[in-house]
Amino acid sequence: MTALPNTQQGATRAAQPKRRGRPGYDLESLLQIAAKLFYERGYDGTSMEELGRKLGITKSAIYYHVRGKEELLKLCVDRALDGLFAVAGEAERAEGRAIDRLEHLVRGSVGVLTEQLPFVTVLLRVRGNSKVERAALARRREFDHIVADLVQQAEAEGDIRPDVDPAITARLLFGLVNSLIDWYRPRVASDSAALADAVAKIAFDGIRV
C-alpha cells in the first residue's frame, strides 16, 4: 500500500490524527460524521457549516483539522482504500493457490467493509466529479485489477469455473461483497466474522446444497 502514489497534500496531516486531536472534537469523530453526511446528502449537498452544526463546533474548529471539504473527502475514501489495499497486499504476497488468496481477499474485504462501513460507503458512491474523487476511482480500478488477476490465475489453476468470463466472475464476486453496505448494520462484535463466513460460503460454493 505504501508503494501507491499519494499525490494529495493533506496526507501528512492525515498521518498524524492523534497529535491534532482536541477532546471531543478529534479528527476521528469529524471523519465519522462527515462520512455519514456525505453518504446521506451527497458530497455536494454537505456544507462545512452543517458539519459544524452536527458536531456542535464552529467551522473554524473544523479547519483546525483539515484544509477543507475536499481534504475531508480524501481522508474518508483513503481510510477505506487503505484498508482494502492492506488486505489486497496480503493476498498478493501470500504463498499458495490463487483461489485461497482470493478467499483471503474476500474475507478481509468483508472485514474492512464492516469495520469501516461509513468510509467504504462513501468510497463506493464516488462519481468522479473532483480530483479527489477521480484519484479514488483510479485506486478502485487498481483494486479491481488485483481481484481480476487473482480470479484469472485461479481459473488457470483449474479452481474457478471456466464457463463464466473471469472478468464477470470478478465483478460479481465483489458486487456480492460490496452489496453489504446497503443493508449491513453492526449489532454484535461477532457479526463481522459470521458475515465473512456467509459471504465466502455463498460466493465460493453457491447457495445450493
| Positions that interact with a second copy (CB under 8 A) | 40, 42, 44-45, 99, 124, 127, 151, 158-165, 168-169, 171-176, 178-180, 182-183, 195, 197-199, 201-209
| Phi, psi torsion values for 6, nearest 5 degrees | -130, 100
Q: What is the closest distance, in whole angstroms, from the C-beta atom of residue 199 to a second copy in the complex? A: 6
Choose between 14 and 33: whose C-beta lies nearer to a second copy.
Answer: 33
Q: What is the closest distance, in whole angstroms, from the C-beta atom of residue 154 to a second copy in the complex? A: 8
Choose between 14 and 155: whose C-beta lies nearer to a second copy.
Answer: 155
Residues 6 or more apart in contact with residue 200 via CB below 8 angstroms: 103, 106, 107, 110
SS3 annotation, 6-73: CCCCCHHHHCCCHHHCCCCCCHHHHHHHHHHHHHHHCCCCCCHHHHHHHHCCCHHHHHCCCCCHHHHH
CA distances to 18, 73, 75, 83, 205 from 15, in Å: 9, 15, 10, 14, 40
Choose between 30 and 126: whose C-beta lies nearer to a second copy.
Answer: 126
Choose between 66 and 91: whose C-beta lies nearer to a second copy.
Answer: 91
d(CA 81, CA 55): 25
Q: What is the closest distance, in whole angstroms, from the C-beta atom of residue 204 to a second copy in the complex? A: 5
Q: Tell me the three state secondary structure of residue 35.
A: helix
Choose between 26 and 149: whose C-beta lies nearer to a second copy.
Answer: 149
**In this structure, are residues 101 and 92 in contact, taking their beta carbons and an 8 Å threshold?**
yes
Choose between 72 and 99: whose C-beta lies nearer to a second copy.
Answer: 99
Q: What is the closest distance, in whole angstroms, from the C-beta atom of residue 180 to a second copy in the complex? A: 7
Q: What is the closest distance, in whole angstroms, from the C-beta atom of residue 19 to a second copy in the complex? A: 37
Q: What is the closest distance, in whole angstroms, from the C-beta atom of residue 126 to a second copy in the complex? A: 11
